[in-house]
Structure 1
Amino acid sequence: MSKDPRYILLSLPSSITPSHHRDDALEAIGKTISPDNGSVVPFAIPEFKIGTLDALVQQADELARLEALCQGVVGKVGDALRSVLEGDEEQIANMKTVNDKPADQYLRTFQWNKVKYRADKSLAELIDLLQKEATSIDNDVRGKFSQYNQVKTTLAALQRKQTGTLSTKSLASVVDPRLLVQDSEYLETHLIAVPSRSTKEFLKSYETISPMVVPRSSTFVASDDESTLYAVTTFKKHSAEFIHKCRENKWTPRDYKYVEGGEEKERQDLDRANADARRLWGETLRLGRTGWSEAVMVWIHVLVLRVFVETVLRYGLPLDFVCALIKVC
């Protein structure tokens, strides 16, 4: 399942030993693998309903594609878990169980799920069922993970508004509305974040960088380590030119419109985003854990079908083969 260790499912005809007995064949397989290189355990495969040769050839191709799909789903669910747990390998390992067992134990004690995938169904029906299940797991986990990422992005943007500099943060808690000219037909107030090293130049030149700037209208609003925020009043018909000239001078115009209760609304939005992020974190983690388990189980059942089909194609009928799980160190 992971890069280390690796597992191999191997099927061989019982005729590899003179006795043609399955136990002897398994023993022979075990003797070919030294303890330093790996270990061998029997792996039970049911006998499924076999159709025509043409159908088996087609099903072998379908199962190869389905196995690749399942492997991809397992990988994507694992990536989602890693992202949600922020790379905490110990926690990730705890989440990666299969049917509430370590993956190695699940493989070594594997039994075909006769309730979900009845062996009396045709191979075509089983393949279709497994494909639908793998696709459903992929869609469910991907959808929930997308929701979680969206709310994380929203939360990060709201947090930046609260904790950034005056050139980027929300101004709802910074600007006294009494500093702004509001509801005027001709005048409007602009908020300009000026780098601290440029404040003298700004105060010296802001009145002349464009026409119709109200003289001495510059008013200190707030400052931080990087910049100072000023309010400047201009006539509306020259506002665009004033804003353009500010940008040319690397002074940052801030879009701001006073809304009564805006600061409280921002706080509520942040609280709501925090709550949504915590809720979706838990939901994504739970779905990722169950999704990884289910995806691995689907993958192994697909592998079992693939081994069975290819065994029939290679060794023919009547069926007389053994299957072993080899754990490669």
Structure 2
Amino acid sequence: MASRYWMVSLPVQSSASNLWSQLQESISKQSFDTPLYRFNVPNLRVGTLDSLLSLADDLLKANAFVEGVTQKIRRQIDELERSSGVDGGDLTVDGVPIDSYLTRFVWDEAKYPTMSPLKEIVDGIHGFVAKVEDDLKVRVAEYNNVRSQLNAINRKQSGSLAVRDLSNLVKPEDIITTEHMVTLLSVVSKFSQKDWLSSYETLTDYVVPRSSKKLYEDNEYALYSVTMFTRVADNFRIKARERGFQIRDFEHDPETQDSLKQEMEKLAQDQETMRSALLQWCYSSYGEVFSSWMHFCAVRVFSESILRYGLPPNFLASVLAPSLKSEKKVRSILERNCTARNSVHWKSEEEVGAMAGLAGEADSHPYVSFTINLV
């Protein structure tokens, strides 16, 4: 699948079929690696030239918005698939791959009646896509909220010893808690372990000699236990902090651990359920938004062709996918099939200069042309 297409229209001099044959022959002979497809634009309601000129001012902004939402949904799909480690299926519109939908485009008369004013069609597309974007924001926010909660718990379970939950590292037999004795847990930098082992017994009175045991170690810290008389525990905390050791509060509570485990399992299940539902919604919505975008492109190429070539509508619209190395060659072929006199609004390259063209870009081509980026 090509990721970038040109949508162009050329003025018809004799007949559309003759022009199409000439274009096909020229492309196949001189740029055979460039796929070429006819883009069927229906006979839309023109209205007045003033209404077309007014609409042209809005087309570029509206196109950027619709294209942006399309790409936003696609990026969300990619992110959801990466998070699950599963490569999803191809993006489709009603079961048709998106590149095939573009290159074999058929106007949906039921959804967008051709007798409707162009502004009404454009406003309808913009309104629908805006609603989809709002829905996407809500759904993503709900999913990210659950994911953030789960990530926060996971960080506590697997983060640095300075902040993580210790319940899965400390066993009941590691802790002594009686009326007169208590076990404290100290987080010690890996580079300060010798200092800890040589000093903990003398940080205060009534520390049980040789009571410190290493319970766990990560890349930065080691977790040690130490037992002492309860009445000196507060003083030990102060002295330990002065030496750069962190005393972690800990209370072994099986019920809390079970509750945390259940919460994690529920959040993990909720996250997967919401991820799957959001992914399916994105697949469906992408197809709908992409279809709307292609209808918008049809309106755009129609209106810009009228403004450029005049009335009555008599132009040939097509879609090409040239490689980077073939772009200049394809432009040359298109120009040879479109003389300046057929383009009533076209100016030479010298006349155009930095002037914005009909598509809102510096356009020195004697034909309508804009790019469609699928990714």
Common fold by TM > 0.5: yes
Partners of 1:12 and 1:95 lie apart in 2 by: 32
Instruction: Say which SS state the counterpart of residue 321 (structure 2) adopts.
Output: strand
Q: How does 1:244-259 map to 2 (within 5 A)?
A: 244-245=241-242, 249=244, 251-256=245-250
Cα–Cα, structure 1 residues 48 and 214, in superposed 2: closer, same or farther, change >3 Å? Answer: farther
Q: Which residue of 2 aligns with 1:62?
A: 58
- Which residue among 144, 147, 167 is the counterpart of 2:139? 144
Pairwise CA distance, 1:138: 2.5
- Please, what TM-score do these two structures have when normalized by structure 2? 0.71
Letter in 2 for 1:328: P
Q: Which residue of 1 aligns with 2:216?
A: 224
Q: Which residue of 2 aligns with 1:266?
A: 260
Deviations 1:299-319 (A, max 9, x none): 111111111111111111122
Partners of 2:48 and 2:251 lie apart in 1 by: 74
- Counterpart contact for 1:77–1:288, Cα < 8 Å: yes
Pairwise CA distance, 1:151: 2.8
- Counterpart contact for 1:8–1:327, Cα < 8 Å: yes
Partners of 1:23 and 1:203 lie apart in 2 by: 90
Pairwise CA distance, 1:147: 3.2
Letter in 2 for 1:128: D
Instruction: Say which SS state the counterpart of residue 32 (structure 2) adopts.
Output: coil
Pairwise CA distance, 1:146: 3.6
Return 5+ residue gaps in structure 2 as ranges.
324-375
- Which residue among 112, 116, 127 is the counterpart of 1:121? 116
- Counterpart contact for 2:45–2:114, Cα < 8 Å: yes
Cα–Cα, structure 1 residues 103 and 237, in superposed 2: closer, same or farther, change >3 Å? Answer: same
Return 5+ residue gaps in structure 1 as ranges.
none
Cα–Cα, structure 1 residues 99 and 43, in superposed 2: closer, same or farther, change >3 Å? Answer: same
Query: Are 1:51 and 2:43 counterparts?
Result: no
Pairwise CA distance, 1:181: 7.7
Q: How does 1:125-274 map to 2 (within 5 A)?
A: 125-164=120-159, 166-173=161-168, 174=170, 176=172, 179=176, 191-195=185-189, 198-206=192-200, 215-216=206-207, 220=212, 223-226=215-218, 227-230=222-225, 241-242=238-239, 244-245=241-242, 249=244, 251-256=245-250, 261-274=255-268
- Identical-residue share of aligned pairs (%): 25
Deviations 1:231-266 (A, max 9, x none): 5756698688457425xx2x3333445656101111
Instruction: Say which SS state the counterpart of residue 224 (structure 1) adopts.
Output: strand
Cα–Cα, structure 1 residues 62 and 244, in superposed 2: closer, same or farther, change >3 Å? Answer: farther
Q: Which residue of 1 aligns with 2:73?
A: 77
Instruction: Say which SS state the counterpart of residue 24 (structure 1) adopts.
Output: helix
The alignment covers a number of residue pairs equal to 313
Deviations 1:153-185 (A, max 9, x none): 332333343345644432234264964589x9x
Deviations 1:274-318 (A, max 9, x none): 101211221122122112222221211111111111111111112
Partners of 1:225 and 1:284 lie apart in 2 by: 39
Instruction: Say which SS state the counterpart of residue 228 (structure 1) adopts.
Output: strand
Letter in 1 for 2:312: P
Q: Which residue of 1 aligns with 2:20?
A: 26
Cα–Cα, structure 1 residues 65 and 152, in superposed 2: closer, same or farther, change >3 Å? Answer: same
Q: Which residue of 1 aligns with 2:360?
A: none
Instruction: Say which SS state the counterpart of residue 293 (structure 1) adopts.
Output: helix
- Counterpart contact for 2:175–2:183, Cα < 8 Å: no
* TM-align CA RMSD: 3.4
Cα–Cα, structure 1 residues 234 and 66, in superposed 2: closer, same or farther, change >3 Å? Answer: farther
Partners of 1:271 and 1:87 lie apart in 2 by: 17
- Please, what TM-score do these two structures have when normalized by structure 1? 0.80
Pairwise CA distance, 1:88: 9.4
Letter in 2 for 1:33: I
